[in-house]
């Protein structure tokens, strides 16, 4: 199998690289330190057409594919995962709207997201429902023409900056099939009863907004139901099959960025009278880092291509998600090792890669949960 990018994809990659190199590098450390984001980057990304590239043209997206989006987020994460995530998360959930939303919902929400006018988020995780999504207990009770929503969500990206969240709720607690108890519902964050409390002092993704959400009798019109009632759990799983490949791309970019830093350092740093790059043990490390990064990239692109061919493969998406995340952590770790003591100084920028990489092994399905999915596919039920 010969695997190469089209000329359009090479152009997208180049444009994303120019944007991230030109705009992120200077700001990355400052935003990380101040635990804040600069919305101008989001607006510029929108102007350049980098948001929701896989959204159809009739909803003002680029009408391209998941692989195209992966190429962009990879280039962004190569420079800074914090900024990459903050930008990418503005359209985190559009995959689901595109898949199961009504025509009215697609027309209402997708164009302003592509144009950088509004941003969204996904609220699944709760204090007692992390890896086990089927333990979600936030309730949505139909009262005439409105859902009344109550519950607590934790670790919600964009909790205090999103215009709306897609919230996973229990709508039919008595259903004999546990997975059919849930629905996905759009909740605008300016509704009475919505409260967000962002975290401070995170290890990773400090430029990105994460926090707790309290929903206290929040009323939304029943038209805010996204997809069919009772299908929420399945919607979320289908969404993850797509979003996990984007996380894989963030991992590939992070690994490549850490590798670039290591290469530059070992060429310059002299010990025992010669550059570190001339020691074969150092060369071995560089070779392993590069090989793992390339293997991760191949897996990520293959999983993305499966999505683009209209035949999503949940096992492949999960393989790409855990493997690319683990490679990002391993490569960033070796990059610190090759920097010696300088590696732990923030000003050398490599510790930053390691801190950020760690979260990739945790969110949107921890690496253990991804392996459970892969193993289930291989072993079947027994
Ligand atoms: C920065 C950040 C942003 C996030 N953004 C969002 C968001 O926007 N929306 C959202 O809904 N959530 C979000 N999350 C939450 C994230 O998806 C969860 O943290 C993740 O799913 C893990 O859940 P948990 O933290 O409750 O860990 P737990 O589920 O308690 O897991 C703890 C450990 O136990 C392991 N474990 C659990 N079950 C098993 C098992 N069956 N077999 C083996 N090991 C197992 C896990 O792998 C993990 O290592 C975010 C998290 C972070 C850190």
Structural domains of the chain sorted by starting position, each given as residue range(s) with its CATH number in brackets: 7-114 (1.10.540.10), 120-232 (2.40.110.10), 234-379 (1.20.140.10)
pTM for the full model?
0.97
pLDDT number for residue 3: 76
What confidence tens digit (pLDDT) does each residue in 179-211 have? 999 999 999 999 999 999 999 999 999 999 999
Residue nearest to atom 40 of ligand 1 (CA): 369
In Å, the largest CA–CA distance within the chain is 79
CA nearest neighbour of 181 among 139, 217, 219 = 139
Q: Which of 126, 325, 363 to mutate to test the pocket of ligand 1 (most atoms within 8 A of CB)?
A: 363
The two three-digit tokens of residue 44, written as one number: 């510029």
Q: How far is the CA of 348 from the centre of ligand 1 (A)?
A: 30
Name the CA radius of gyration of the chain, rounded.
21
pLDDT for 1: 62
Within 6 A (CB) of ligand 1 lie 121-125, 130-131, 155-157, 205, 210, 359, 362-364, 366, 368-369, 372
Low-confidence ranges of the chain (pLDDT < 70): 1-2, 382
Question: Tell me, what's the pLDDT at 2?
Answer: 66
Q: Please give the distance, rounded to the nearest whole angstrom, from the Cα atom of residue 227 to the centre of ligand 1.
A: 25
List the catalytic residues: 364
Question: What are the C-alpha distances in Å from 319 to residues 35, 140, 378?
Answer: 31, 34, 12
Place of tokens 């894989």: 248
pLDDT digits (tens, 9 = 90+) for 51-71: 989 999 999 999 999 999 999
pLDDT at 306: 95
Ligand 1 pocket check: which of 187, 205, 366, 368 to mutate, most ligand atoms within 8 Å of Cβ?
A: 366
Q: How far is the CA of 131 from the centre of ligand 1 (A)?
A: 5
Nearest CA to ligand 1 atom 4: 155
pLDDT at 272: 98
């Amino acid at each position: 199998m010969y695997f190469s990018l089209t000329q359009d994809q090479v152009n997208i990659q180049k444009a994303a690289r120019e944007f991230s190199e030109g705009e992120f590098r200077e700001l990355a450390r400052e935003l990380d330190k101040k635990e804040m984001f600069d919305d101008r980057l989001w607006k510029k990304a929108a102007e350049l057409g980098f948001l929701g590239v896989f959204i159809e043209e009739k909803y003002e997206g680029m009408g391209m594919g998941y692989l195209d989006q992966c190429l962009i987020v990879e280039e962004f994460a190569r420079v800074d995962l914090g900024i990459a995530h903050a930008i990418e998360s503005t359209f985190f959930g559009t995959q689901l709207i595109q898949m199961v939303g009504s025509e009215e919902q697609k027309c209402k929400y997708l164009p302003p997201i592509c144009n950088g006018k509004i941003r969204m988020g996904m609220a699944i995780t709760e204090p007692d429902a992390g890896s086990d999504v089927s333990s979600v207990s936030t309730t949505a009770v139909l009262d005439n023409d409105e859902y009344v929503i109550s519950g607590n969500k934790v670790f919600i990206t964009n909790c205090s900056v999103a215009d709306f969240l897609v919230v996973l709720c229990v709508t039919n607690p008595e259903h004999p099939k546990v997975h059919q108890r849930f629905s996905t519902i759009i909740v605008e964050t300016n509704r009475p009863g919505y409260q967000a409390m962002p975290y401070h002092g995170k290890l990773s993704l400090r430029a990105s907004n994460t926090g707790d959400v309290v929903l206290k009798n929040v009323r939304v019109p029943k038209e805010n139901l996204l997809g069919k009632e009772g299908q929420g759990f399945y919607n979320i799983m289908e969404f993850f099959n797509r979003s996990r490949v984007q996380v894989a791309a963030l991992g590939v970019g992070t690994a490549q960025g850490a590798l670039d830093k290591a290469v530059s350092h070992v060429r310059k740093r002299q010990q025992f009278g010669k550059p570190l790059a001339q020691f074969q043990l150092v060369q071995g490390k560089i070779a392993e880092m590069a090989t793992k990064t390339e293997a991760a990239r191949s897996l990520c692109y293959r999983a993305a291509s499966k999505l683009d061919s209209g035949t999503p493969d949940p096992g492949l998406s999960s393989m790409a998600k855990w493997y690319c995340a683990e490679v990002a952590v391993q490569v960033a770790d070796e990059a610190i090792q090759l920097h010696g003591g300088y590696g732990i100084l923030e000003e050398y920028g490599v510790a930053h890669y390691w801190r950020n990489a760690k979260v990739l092994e945790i969110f949107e399905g921890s690496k253990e949960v991804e392996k459970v999915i892969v193993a289930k596919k291989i072993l079947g039920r027994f």
